[in-house]
Structure 1
Amino acid sequence: MEFSYKARQTNGLHVGYIASLNTDFWVDARQNWQVGVKLAFQNDSRSTILPGGQLKVSHRL
């Protein structure tokens, strides 16, 4: 299966965007464990929407 895209208009200005939401929080009172989440959305100049996400778990030594 092959997917392709042909732009209707190739002249002029093309604009995309990236939006992200980040949050981090400590799990315990001694601040040894941290958990973070990042959600991102990208819309490129060809109207392709690319969602993404990350989960971070870290421990202080």
Structure 2
Amino acid sequence: MKVTVDQVKCVAAGHCVMHADEVFDQRDDDGIVELLDPNPPEELADEVRQAAAVCPAMAIHVEE
């Protein structure tokens, strides 16, 4: 699995962090998504997919 984020699209809602905090974080100054692990382990795959699915800005992209 390969994960990418589009920080320009991000609206800082934080849903990604709520679903997969081992893979996503938010910048302190503006809340924009930060990708902690672009190649997360398989055991986090469901959480990452869910984070991408609930992103209101569709700023998370997952390649299987």
Q: Same fold (TM over 0.5)?
A: no
| Higher Rg | 1
Higher helix share: 2
Higher strand share: 1
Using the size of structure 1 for normalisation, the TM-score is 0.19
Using the size of structure 2 for normalisation, the TM-score is 0.19
- State the structure with bigger RCO (CA 8 A, min sep 6), 1 or 2: 2
